[in-house]
């Protein structure tokens, strides 16, 4: 890791913490990040020549693996015609149609450049549509870094959020109410307190940002009912789950439909993207049709659109990818549970399709509080033990592992073998 170390030291002099997104700095597990030279399929190749089996997959953005030939081909073709026009291109329509096909709750969709922009715009829109200011978000769910979403639960009882970052004025977060994931009671008590003030409930239908935490039976349905009852909108942040747990995301998997859906990650085929969409009457409030302002110089970028279209078309023509990923995921999950049981190590594996987290705790993990019970120092040892064996899992307990269609049964076997040894070391 000599060259990586040298590059990281150089990066520290010009970039805060040496990285352009905090989790990459390995703070949660200790040590220093490696630098990547190139990637292919399920593998990353570091600048020091190490080959790593990658379970991060650009934080879930890649479902076909790295450098998929078909996607690369489309990108190169688009690149040859220029990088950005600032005018409409046909692939924007193609991508919008693919999104609509996957998500029947989306009649109109607007493309932006990141997930952060998508959720920020969705909330602005929900506030305009309902003429209300307050929103509910769940403790442990992440929706990008917009001010009003960087909120965690205040001390004591859940209700009013407090800024979870310096630089966010309290005045901005006072309209963000915090509830507990999988706890409908915590949501209904907020609605009872503010029956006419809540514009929207925003949720990751399967949470991936406190580690993977699936919704309990009835949770999403309950959110659908309560928002309808109080004239509030339901926003699903499907930036991870969209096109990952099924083509139509959590909405297809659980049969619960949102008023506004946020997408990103896989949608851009590995290039920067976000999107938000919903019913026509809601989306028609967005400018230039309506008075909710939202714009983007590089939005709908032709190269990004080409990457998105080729990714989604490839998935659409190979829908067996989802059962393949389910089988691999199941093999990994059961393998880890068996090994842990055998070694007497307390773990909980939470998994939905190709997203999974190994929590080092005996207790069921169903919300932020229970996720926090995981032993993060054991996770850190586990992480480094696997990394030494050429397996790269997320450098934080509270992130999801992601499988891609480029992963093979053999990859999983190799991983389980490495995990067996790692369990001896932790």
Contact with ligand PLP (CB under 6 A): which of 123, 240, 312, 422?
240
Q: Which of 265, 366, 368, 392 is catalytic?
A: 265
Angle of CA points 336, 367, 162, to nearest 5°: 135
d(C-alpha 145, C-alpha 120), whole Å? 9
Residue pair 161/173 in contact by the 8 Å Cβ criterion: yes
Instruction: Tell me if 237 contacts ligand PLP by CB under 6 A.
Output: yes
Residue with Cβ nearer ligand PLP (147 or 417): 147
Q: What share of the chain is helix, strand, coil (3-state, %, to 5)?
A: 40, 20, 40
Q: State the minimum distance, in angstroms, from the CB of residue 338 to ligand PLP.
A: 29
Instruction: Tell me if 143 contacts ligand PLP by CB under 6 A.
Output: yes
DSSP 184: H
Beta bridge pairs of residue 54: 392
Instruction: Tell me if 249 contacts ligand PLP by CB under 6 A.
Output: no
Residue with Cβ nearer ligand PLP (143 or 384): 143
Residue with Cβ nearer ligand PLP (114 or 405): 114
Q: Which of 183, 237, 259, 367 is catalytic?
A: 237
d(C-alpha 205, C-alpha 215), whole Å? 6
Q: Which of 55, 74, 129, 142 is catalytic?
A: 142
Cα 2 to chain centroid distance, Å, stands at 32
Residue with Cβ nearer ligand PLP (264 or 302): 264
120 sits in which H/E element? helix 115-130
Q: State the minimum distance, in angstroms, from the CB of residue 141 to ligand PLP.
A: 7
Number of residues in the chain:
426
d(C-alpha 199, C-alpha 202), whole Å? 10
Instruction: Tell me if 269 contacts ligand PLP by CB under 6 A.
Output: no
Residues 6+ apart with CB under 8 A from 150: 163, 164, 165, 168, 173
Contact with ligand PLP (CB under 6 A): which of 89, 239, 352, 365?
239
Residue range at the interface with ligand PLP (CB under 6 A); choices 77-85, 125-133, 139-147, 183-191: 139-147
Query: Among residue numbers 304 through 343, which ones bind ligand PLP (CB under 6 A)?
Result: none
Q: State the minimum distance, in angstroms, from the CB of residue 313 to ligand PLP.
A: 22
Query: Among residue numbers 87 through 116, which ones bind ligand PLP (CB under 6 A)?
Result: 114-116
Instruction: Tell me if 264 contacts ligand PLP by CB under 6 A.
Output: yes
Could you tell me which of 220, 205, 224, 232 has the C-alpha nearest to residue 134? Answer: 232
What mask, x for binding ligand PLP by CB under 6 A, covers residues 203 to 222? -x---xx-------------
Could you tell me which of 257, 146, 153, 272 has the C-alpha nearest to residue 205? Answer: 257
Q: State the minimum distance, in angstroms, from the CB of residue 248 to ligand PLP.
A: 17
338 is catalytic: no
Helices (H) and strands (E) in the chain, counts: 14, 16
265 is catalytic: yes
Q: State the minimum distance, in angstroms, from the CB of residue 15 to ligand PLP.
A: 17
Instruction: Tell me if 148 contacts ligand PLP by CB under 6 A.
Output: no
- Using CB under 6 A as the binding criterion, the count of chain residues that bind ligand PLP stands at 15
Q: State the minimum distance, in angstroms, from the CB of residue 227 to ligand PLP.
A: 19
d(C-alpha 178, C-alpha 164), whole Å? 12
Residue nearest ligand PLP, CB atom distance:
115
Could you tell me which of 320, 298, 280, 319 has the C-alpha nearest to residue 100? Answer: 280
d(C-alpha 406, C-alpha 386), whole Å? 20
- Order of strands across the sheet that contains 134-138: 108-112, 274-278, 260-264, 233-237, 198-203, 134-138, 176-179
142 is catalytic: yes
Residue range at the interface with ligand PLP (CB under 6 A); choices 69-77, 222-230, 237-245, 333-341: 237-245
DSSP 363: S
Residue with Cβ nearer ligand PLP (24 or 389): 24
What amino acid positions are annotated as catalytic residues? Answer: 142, 237, 265
Footprint on this chain of ligand PLP (rule: CB under 6 A): 114-116, 119, 142-144, 204, 208-209, 237, 239-240, 264, 274
């Amino acid at each position: 890791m000599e060259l990586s170390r040298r590059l990281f030291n150089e990066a520290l002099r010009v970039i805060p913490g040496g990285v352009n997104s905090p989790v990459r700095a390995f703070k949660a597990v200790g040590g220093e990040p490696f630098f990547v030279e190139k990637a292919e399929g399920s593998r990353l190749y570091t600048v020091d020549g190490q080959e790593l089996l990658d379970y991060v997959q650009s934080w879930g953005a890649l479902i076909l693996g790295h450098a998929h030939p078909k996607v690369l081909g489309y990108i190169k073709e688009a690149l040859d015609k220029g990088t950005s026009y600032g005018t409409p291109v046909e692939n924007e329509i193609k991508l919008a149609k693919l999104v609509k096909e996957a998500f029947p709750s989306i009649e109109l969709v607007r493309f932006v450049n990141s997930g952060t922009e998508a959720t920020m715009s969705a909330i602005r829109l929900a506030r305009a549509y309902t003429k209300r200011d307050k929103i509910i978000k769940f403790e442990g769910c992440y929706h990008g870094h917009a001010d009003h979403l960087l909120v965690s639960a205040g001390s004591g009882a859940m209700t009013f959020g407090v800024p979870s970052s310096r630089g966010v004025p309290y005045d901005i977060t006072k309209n963000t109410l915090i509830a507990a994931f999988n706890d409908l009671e915590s949501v209904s008590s907020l609605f009872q307190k503010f029956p006419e003030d809540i514009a929207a409930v925003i949720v990751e239908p399967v949470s991936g940002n406190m580690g993977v935490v699936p919704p309990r039976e009835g949770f999403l349905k309950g959110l659908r009912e309560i928002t309808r009852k109080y004239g509030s909108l339901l926003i699903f942040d499907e930036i991870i789950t969209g096109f990952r747990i099924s083509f139509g995301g959590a909405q297809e998997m659980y049969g619960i439909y949102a008023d506004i859906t946020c997408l990103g990650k896989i949608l851009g085929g590995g290039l920067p993207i976000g999107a938000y969409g919903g019913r026509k009457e809601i989306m028609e409030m967005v400018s230039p049709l309506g008075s909710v302002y939202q714009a983007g110089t590089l939005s709908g970028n032709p190269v990004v659109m080409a990457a998105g279209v080729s990714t989604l078309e490839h998935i659409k023509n190979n829908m067996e990818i989802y059962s393949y990923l389910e089988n691999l995921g199941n093999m990994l999950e059961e393998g880890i549970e068996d090994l842990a049981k055998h070694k007497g190590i307390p773990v909980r594996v939470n998994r939905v399709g190709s997203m999974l987290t190994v929590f080092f705790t005996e207790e069921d993990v169903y919300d932020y509080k229970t996720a926090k019970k995981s032993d993060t120092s054991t996770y850190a040892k586990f992480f480094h033990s696997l990394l030494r064996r050429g397996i790269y899992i997320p450098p934080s307990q509270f992130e999801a592992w992601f499988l891609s269609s480029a992963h093979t049964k053999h990859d999983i076997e190799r991983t389980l073998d490495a995990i067996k040894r790692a369990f001896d070391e932790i």
